Amino acid sequence: MASNDGHGAEIVVIGGGIAGVSAGYALGRHTSGPTITVIEAEGQLAHHTTGRSAALFIENYGTGPTRALTKASRLYFHHPPPELVDGPLLETRGVLSVARPDQERYFQQALAEGRAVNPDIAEITIEDAVDLFPPLRADRLSRALYEPGASDIDVGRLHQSFVRGIVAMGGTISTSTRARSLSRTGGRWTITTSAGDLRADLVVDAAGAWGDDVAQRAGIEPLGLTPLRRTAFMVARPESLPARAPLTAEIEHEDWYVKPDGAQILCSPADETPSEPCDARPEEIDIARAIDLINEATTLGITSIRSSWAGLRTFSPDRTMVIGPEPGEPAFIWCVGQGGTGIQTAPAAGQLVADLTLDGEPSAVFDAAATGLELDVDAITPGRFRRVGPSAR
Ligand SMILES: Cc1cc2nc3c(=O)[nH]c(=O)nc-3n(C[C@H](O)[C@H](O)[C@H](O)COP(=O)(O)OP(=O)(O)OC[C@H]3O[C@@H](n4cnc5c(N)ncnc54)[C@H](O)[C@@H]3O)c2cc1C
């Protein structure tokens, strides 16, 4: 893969969620000394999906490349630059996945995939599962899988660490600055924004649900990104449920999940409803469905909720994120399709943006010897959606 000459380059990153700031931070650290400007359409950073997540770090989750990025992110989560953080980024919680007899196939798959990423991920007895999460109705369950190292992420602190890093390197972060059109003449981009024109050598598209919209404004063919709405809401936590009990979910992670959160419990129907890019709002029907499912599977007896929200998890057609220069237009860099794992993969995803943009290949932090998992670069770069002929998707 050819690399760009990024020496002293001016780079504009579009989007101030976790994808944009992690990419801006990693790009700014490169020895070629690029100048970074992150622009965010909203008046505050992380207003959209980044501010609406369940804040979990789970190794047994997502596609193969996602798992490799999660592994490669561990280093930053455990040893972030001390000058950029004021406390830990992770707090161990554990994730418990339970299965009914009719979900045996999914259990076997999750167990095999889990063992491949981390030998600590193992089957436990139903009795042990109920010890960990007392409200479970044991009589309907046949299997349970536990990932003890799964952790809560301090999303605000993680996001802020990248923001601090960008500012410390002399970069700029501009809110209330929406990219309206992008044109390229004489080897430079002109980005027309709601706050005036910007010039750049390279543009990074980290616009989340608006990733394809931004690409089209730059004359780049869209990837076919699909924003899928996911609902979350809070209910009161009974004293019988420990505050640090594991996140507990149906084995497919697609039926419901619950996570104690202080005096409350975060609940979700794990819904995936296609949506236009927008300021997502929860639907009553999704909340009602989640309450039914959770009350059937547990003794929580939910009757009312305290608050609710929704966010858009945006997926590429193969559900793996898309990172790297657009084939044929290497000054346009994709960093989109983070789906349901954009927080836990952010340190490595940002680094990969910088590596592929400025060096043309992944750096040593992605070596399987260091992470424990091979990263298939071809499965993450945009070229996989641009091939023509018999091998096309
Ligand atoms: C309920 C829920 C639970 C989740 N749980 C987890 C979890 O436990 N762990 C995990 O890792 N992930 C989780 N996720 C997924 C995670 O939140 C996302 O993958 C991640 O936040 C995506 O970040 P992003 O920066 O790509 O998108 P966003 O945070 O949406 O940022 C994109 C930004 O681009 C801006 N933008 C768009 N167009 C323009 C423009 N033209 N000009 C300037 N700016 C523009 C937008 O305003 C937006 O702020 C969850 C998501 C949801 C909804």
Q: Are 200 and 12 a contacting pair, CB within 8 Å?
A: yes
Q: Quick one: pLDDT at residue 1?
A: 33
| CA 18, 20, 21, 22 torsion-angle sign | positive
Residue 286 is part of which domain span? 95-148+226-315
Q: How far is the CA of 19 from the centre of ligand 1 (A)?
A: 7
Q: Please give the number of the atom of ligand 1 that sits closest to the Cα of 209.
A: 30
Same domain, 169 and 221: yes
| Residue ID of nearest Cα to ligand 1 atom 35 | 15
- Tokens found for residue 387: 């091939």
**Which residue owns the Cα nearest ligand 1 atom 19?**
342
Q: How confident is the model at residue 4 (pLDDT cuts 50, 70, 90)?
A: very low
Give the separation between CA 141 and CA 385, rounded to whole angstroms. 41
In whole angstroms, give the CA distance from residue 127 to residue 119: 21
Same domain, 125 and 271: yes
- Cα 254 to middle of ligand 1, angstroms: 19
Q: Is the dihedral of CA 192, 196, 198, 203 positive or negative?
A: negative
Q: 248, 53, 231: which is closest to 134 by C-alpha?
A: 248
Q: Are residues 47 and 194 in the same domain?
A: yes
Considering its fold, how many domains does the chain have in total? Answer: 2
Regarding whether 141 and 238 lie in a shared domain, the answer is yes
What lies within 8 Å, CB to CB, of 241 at 6+ separation is 133, 134, 135, 260, 265, 300
CA–CA separation, 276 vs 219, rounded Å? 20
DSSP symbols for 278-341? S-----HHHHHHHHHHHHHHBS------SEEEEEEEEE-TTSS-EEEEETTEEEEEEEE--TT-
Q: How far is the CA of 186 from the centre of ligand 1 (A)?
A: 33
Task: Please state the rounded mean pLDDT for residues 258-284.
Answer: 97
Q: Looking at the domain assignment, is residue 298 inside a domain?
A: yes
Question: What mean pLDDT comes out for the span 352-367?
Answer: 97
Centre of ligand 1 from the C-alpha of residue 225, in Å: 13
Who's near 107: CB < 8 A, 6+ residues apart?
Answer: 97, 99, 142, 143, 145, 251
Contact 25, 73 (CB under 8 A): no
pLDDT value at position 254? 61
Which residue minimizes the CA distance to atom 8 of ligand 1?
A: 56
Instruction: Sheet containing 188-193: give its strands across.
Output: 179-185, 188-193, 196-200
Query: Which sign does the torsion angle of CA 266, 270, 271, 277 carry?
Result: positive
For the segment 95-119, the average pLDDT, to the nearest whole number, is: 95
Half-sphere CA count of 380, side-chain side, radius 13 A: 28
Residue 95 has pLDDT above 70, yes or no: yes
Same domain, 192 and 78: yes
Percentages of the chain per state (helix, strand, coil), in multiples of 5: 30, 25, 40
Judgement on whether residues 322 and 350 belong to the same structural domain of the protein:
yes
Alpha carbon of residue 35 to chain centroid: 25
**Are 193 and 336 in a shared domain?**
yes
Question: Does residue 309 share a domain with residue 161?
Answer: no
For residue 3, being part of any structural domain is answered with no
- 2 domain residue, yes or no: no
**Residue with CA nearest ligand 1 atom 22:** 342
DSSP conformational letter for 246: P
Per residue in 23-33, pLDDT (tens digit) is 999 999 998 99
pLDDT tens profile 203-226: 999 999 999 999 999 999 999 999
What pLDDT sits at residue 2?
35
Task: Specify if 4 maps to a domain.
Answer: no
* Per-residue model confidence as pLDDT tens digits over 137-190: 999 999 999 999 999 999 999 999 999 999 999 999 999 999 999 999 999 999
Q: How far apart are CA 98 and CA 131, in angstroms?
A: 13
63 shares its domain with 103: no
List, chain by chain if needed, residues with CB within 6 Å of any ligand 1 atom.
14-20, 39-42, 46-50, 52-56, 178-179, 206-210, 214, 230, 232, 268, 311, 313, 338-344
